[in-house]
Structure 1
Amino acid sequence: MGLKSDRVVVVTGASRGAGKGIALALGATGAKVYVTGRTRTEGESPLPGTVYATADEITRRGGTGIPVVVDHSDDEQVRALFEQVADENGGRLDILVNNVLTVPDALTAKGPFWEKPLSLVDLFDVGMRSTYVATYHAGPLLAANGEGLVVNTSSFGGSCYMHGPAYGAGKAAVDKMAHDMAVDFRPFGVAVVSIWMGLLKTERTMAAFAANPGAYEGLAATAETPEFTGRVVDALARDPELAKRSGQVLVGAEIAAELGVTDVDGNTPPSHRPFLGDPPTFSDAVVD
């Protein structure tokens, strides 16, 4: 995709957190960025941020931010989102970032999964299933474009035990989707990757840091800003070797080091591979 400054991008789940940071970083390249989320006004969520505030900040940074209120558990709303993108851009879409994820309050509670609320399976819907549905509707636009990039945001929880089996299954699923979607997209010049992010300085995480600073002192020093992954996505989209990476699970910090990407503060966050484990390696076999 070269050095395009007029990319058309969709980032799901961008009212706050990783999605907001990714959207801001891509918007700063001059892209038109569609940001989705459910939060219309401050106060609707216990955490700050709205789709409109994210879109406004994108525009202030030199891009074009377009807010679209979407509940990603509603397939019809997702279909309408990509119909809007197609209608407003002559059928064009360059980058899709599948980031939206339900984060139940009990996700990080201690104890075995059967002692936690069954509602943790909600992240199979908005997280795992929503990744499939969004890419399903984006697929024809990307394929017609003849090039493009799909990114599934993920984490080391796809490999190691992290927050229990519901979270782990959801992340492992989007990792495998990236591999399998890449097979179908390959003839159309579209790459698909899953990016393992590190600990992020999101609104939720920063609140936890403030509530218990001693417990997070070491982790806070190496945490990534939410915009870091967006910078990595931008670099990947410009990487002449992108096609060779398609279908892989990539550690964001490692790709950043390889492509010369730094965080907003100029630091290079470390990879957590040494103590959280390796990304999966999938078979090259294709059974139609």
Structure 2
Amino acid sequence: MSLSGWVCLITGASRGIGKGIALQLCEAGATVYITGRQEKTLKETAAQVSERGGKCVPVICDSTSGEDIEKLFARIRGEQNNRLDLLVNNAYAGVQAIFDNEGKKFWETEPSLWDTINNTGLRGHYFFAVHAARMMVAQGRGLIVTISSMGGLRYLFNVPYGVGKAACDRMAIDMGIELRSRGVASVSLWPGPVNTELISQFMEDGAQQNVESKYTDLFANGETTEFSGLCIVNLAKDKNLMSLTGKILMTCDLARRYGIQDVDGRSITDFTSLKFLLTQVPYVSWLSSLVPSFIRMPRFLLPLASNHF
């Protein structure tokens, strides 16, 4: 119960990564507000939390609605005596659209794909962060975690996806600069490939129809939906948290930092290890068996892979 007494808010927590984060935070003793647009799935998540002995408050909230967001924060202030310790910006509405438009170039899709992917997963994150920061700055402490991905560094899925994730990373970093002196931390978190309900269903449907997807190998050994939550629990209680503010953190890095494994007992794939990187290069993948797993690519080299100057 390391987070006993904490008040947390997770957006888009009715399923997927958000749900997994909610389960882990509640297990750690926090009171967790979860948002989503569907009452049924929110209540299902709350029920699972209760089964684990946690305290969860499901709230119907559209992350694209400024009015809904304002009402939610007014409720938290009233019910929790103006206390909010942690915000996880996770809500995302673009997964189905990404797979529906797999293989299409940006000019072959409807321009509204941009709104589907980024209204909830970028604009909404900013709105939530503004309201959360006002509460956290007033109390002199807090943590804002923005869920992002490697798509912020290199091309992945499509144009709106990459632009949105790059913006999420920049937002988390710049918020960290402005919040540092107020005792509030802001980080961007990159999970590895995660086997969410939608991803698993997509893979199952493709297998039944004998449709080969380029994402099959990517998600074959994916993280569980709860591992990001386990990382956030450990991050929240890190005594040196402020040394990490304004940074992009990877779940594989946090697994090593805190000595943790996934909730199903599996070790997390380190996507920056030389051993893994060699497996991705044709004709030299055999060398991976000869390379120790502890040899990793220095973090400062990651941006060079996409340097356009």
TM-score by length of 2: 0.83
2:97 maps to which of 89, 99, 106: 106
2:89 pairs with 1:95: no
Moved more, 85-94 or 266-275: 266-275
Give ranges in structure 1 of 5+ residues lacking alignment: 42-49, 282-288
Q: What corresponds to 2:26 in structure 1? A: 27
Matched-pair contact (CA < 8 Å) for 2:32–2:55:
yes
> Whole-Å Cα distance in 2 between the matches of residues 280 and 147 of structure 1?
31
Q: What corresponds to 2:226 in structure 1? A: 227
Q: Which amino acid aligns with 1:226?
A: T
The number of residue pairs the alignment matches comes to 272
Q: What corresponds to 1:209 in structure 2? A: 203
Give ranges in structure 2 of 5+ residues lacking alignment: 281-296, 305-309
> Whole-Å Cα distance in 1 between the matches of residues 58 and 151 of structure 2?
30
> Whole-Å Cα distance in 2 between the matches of residues 104 and 204 of structure 1?
8
Q: Which amino acid aligns with 1:92?
A: R
> Whole-Å Cα distance in 1 between the matches of residues 14 and 259 of structure 2?
28
Matched-pair contact (CA < 8 Å) for 1:9–1:31:
yes
Q: What corresponds to 1:239 in structure 2? A: 238
Q: Which amino acid aligns with 1:236?
A: L
Give 1:51-66 correspondences, 5 Å limit. Answer: 51-66=42-57
Matched-pair contact (CA < 8 Å) for 1:36–1:68:
yes
Q: Deviations over 1:109-164 (max 9, x none)?
A: 11211101222111221111111000111112111222211100011111111111
2:255 pairs with 1:263: no
Q: Deviations over 1:182-204 (max 9, x none)?
A: 11211221111001111111111
Secondary structure at the counterpart of residue 56 of structure 1: helix
**1:222 deviation in Å?**
1.9
Moved more, 219-228 or 165-174: 219-228
Q: CA RMSD in A?
A: 2.1
More relative contact order in 1 or in 2 (CA 8 Å, sep 6+)? 1
Matched-pair contact (CA < 8 Å) for 2:2–2:29:
no
Q: Deviations over 1:161-189 (max 9, x none)?
A: 11111000100111001111111211221
2:8 pairs with 1:17: no
Percent identity of the aligned residues?
39
The 4+ residue runs of structure 1 with deviation greater than 3 A are 212-221, 273-281
Give 1:6-155 correspondences, 5 Å limit. Answer: 6-41=5-40, 50-103=41-94, 105-108=96-99, 109-122=102-115, 123-155=117-149
> Whole-Å Cα distance in 2 between the matches of residues 105 and 221 of structure 1?
19
Secondary structure at the counterpart of residue 5 of structure 2: coil
Secondary structure at the counterpart of residue 200 of structure 1: coil
TM-score by length of 1: 0.88
